[in-house]
Structure 1
């Protein structure tokens, strides 16, 4: 086993899946794959993952009703904590919260960190068309800053009608991640809340490819400089899920630096064959041993206290 720490790995608790099925909901057009504890462990072993930090993917826990969302968040977070407890060292988890219900999100944040000992939160890149830089979410960001929390940002379905023949998970997810990163930077949220460590899914969407354009055009209605915007955009952490290709990974490493890149698979929403494809590409990429180890495990172990010491 390589000792990889996978920060982008999903779980699908049975009761949560039943609620999605009742409403005909999918993960951005992707039907829910099979998930179980045993399947997760088998996939981890197959792909050299020592530890998976699991989270609930889009559409998240808020399906339209605040009270139901609070109940669902509590259920999935307790389910994740129990999974971690059964397999010390094999699992961690990013807790789900109830945005756009900010009051509920603050309450669940306290419970997740103080009682369940979550490793961080998962926040969807947009909730009902509002991205994470929206002023409405400021109280939650302030609390996460106070707690010096890790926030894993996962894309969701973009607001507006879907594009015929292109399910959201194929291309829109990358735009959603980019939009929320830009919204946080333009709202000056990163500088006001330096205690939060944001990990963006899928190599940061389009950020490494379009950062200079995004920074330059952001100056049109701001007194800030291109260099200021670039510095903020480059301060995000990112994962390698579905990004370890000969065209994407060099841009990710060049823009963010290897010390801000974390190994990720997106299993099981990325199938076993999909995970194998990108994991093989990553293994073939020309990296020195120290850089490879940083991405595969050291960066995550330095950030997440639960995993500071590898399993024996």
Structure 2
């Protein structure tokens, strides 16, 4: 039985991006470098898009490296600038926007300081990190103090994909293949290092249905039988750790993708994502239509994806008006 709750304007979009005016040129250059249409963003246009697409609130994040690998000072300054700009948007329109604060990894001390500032002073709803920090993946032992702090805070963490190390394949845009690959790589590295198990209070969202993780999860569970690493003791334990992740639906509602995600993920761990404006709106509406029109919904589950599950992660957005 199809659930039509997605037709009312109540979605919570956990994967929506902000481009501060000071970062517009950098983001245009970034798009050209990865072979993708250049995005444009402003507050009014974002709200108009949300109204057209039944999105009540967009959780904003900045989805690009903050600076080059040899300039931690610039990364620190950019993170602070982006976070303060976004916090002001949320302060003015808390009903329409939320905020994942950017952290200047791989410098853990700077990331800890920025997380404290953003969560305590700016009222951020969570934090965003890239799937690798200039080639260092998220299971790196050096990042352990950050995960411990975010776990203590019960923080929500969005892991946004970026380009993996190495040379891109000619004529294959990085966001199409390499970004979901890097999301998968980051999640697998975290799990093999035991991060989700050690820090269960930290809620980690993997965009784009977790890349290839749901499709290949049982293959990845063979890692539990390998002799080295901080790993779970059985494939079943490893799968349970992979299911600790949350997943969004951005660019992931196709006829073969969505069933794989639904078969793998915990029901309460599925969230709506648009990826606007990195995904042009005219493309994104096709994925919205596929999501709402899927024949795989049990009663109430589409509403949970569109809104209900996000309300549990972000209680300030809960309105108590859920369909029966």
Q: 1:63 is matched with which residue: 65, 68, 74?
A: 68
Residues 119 and 304 in structure 1, CA contact (< 8 A), matched pair in contact too? yes
Residues 3 and 310 in structure 1, CA contact (< 8 A), matched pair in contact too? no
Q: Which residue of 2 aligns with 1:296?
A: 306
For 1:126 and 1:236, how far apart are their aligned partners in 2? Answer: 17
Give 1:8-87 correspondences, 5 Å limit.
Answer: 8-20=15-27, 24-26=29-31, 28-58=34-64, 60-64=65-69, 65-87=71-93
Secondary structure at the counterpart of residue 98 of structure 2 = strand
Instruction: For CA contacts below 8 A with separation 6 or more, give which structure has more relative contact order.
Output: 2
Give 1:127-276 correspondences, 5 Å limit.
Answer: 127-222=133-228, 224-276=233-285
Q: TM-score, normalised by structure 1?
A: 0.95
For 1:288 and 1:96, how far apart are their aligned partners in 2? Answer: 36
Post-superposition offset of 1:47: 0.7
Residues 208 and 255 in structure 1, CA contact (< 8 A), matched pair in contact too? yes
Residues 210 and 248 in structure 2, CA contact (< 8 A), matched pair in contact too? yes
Post-superposition offset of 1:126: 0.6
Secondary structure at the counterpart of residue 89 of structure 2 = helix
Residues 76 and 96 in structure 1, CA contact (< 8 A), matched pair in contact too? yes
For 2:223 and 2:77, how far apart are their aligned partners in 1? Answer: 42
For 2:252 and 2:153, how far apart are their aligned partners in 1? Answer: 30
For 2:59 and 2:318, how far apart are their aligned partners in 1? Answer: 14
Deviations 1:105-146 (A, max 9, x none): 111000000000100001101111111101111111111111
Residues 148 and 195 in structure 1, CA contact (< 8 A), matched pair in contact too? yes
For 2:15 and 2:36, how far apart are their aligned partners in 1? Answer: 17
Q: Which residue of 1 aligns with 2:4?
A: none
Post-superposition offset of 1:31: 4.5
Q: CA RMSD in A?
A: 1.6
Residues 57 and 154 in structure 1, CA contact (< 8 A), matched pair in contact too? yes
Residues 62 and 99 in structure 1, CA contact (< 8 A), matched pair in contact too? no
Structure 2: 5+ residue runs without aligned partners?
1-7
Residues 133 and 184 in structure 1, CA contact (< 8 A), matched pair in contact too? yes
Q: TM-score, normalised by structure 2?
A: 0.91
Deviations 1:41-60 (A, max 9, x none): 111111110000010012x3
Question: How many corresponding residue pairs?
Answer: 308
Q: 1:122 is matched with which residue: 114, 128, 133?
A: 128
Residues 157 and 168 in structure 1, CA contact (< 8 A), matched pair in contact too? yes
Residues 271 and 310 in structure 2, CA contact (< 8 A), matched pair in contact too? yes
Residues 27 and 38 in structure 2, CA contact (< 8 A), matched pair in contact too? no
Post-superposition offset of 1:218: 4.3
Q: Which residue of 2 aligns with 1:280?
A: 289
Q: Which residue of 2 aligns with 1:306?
A: 316
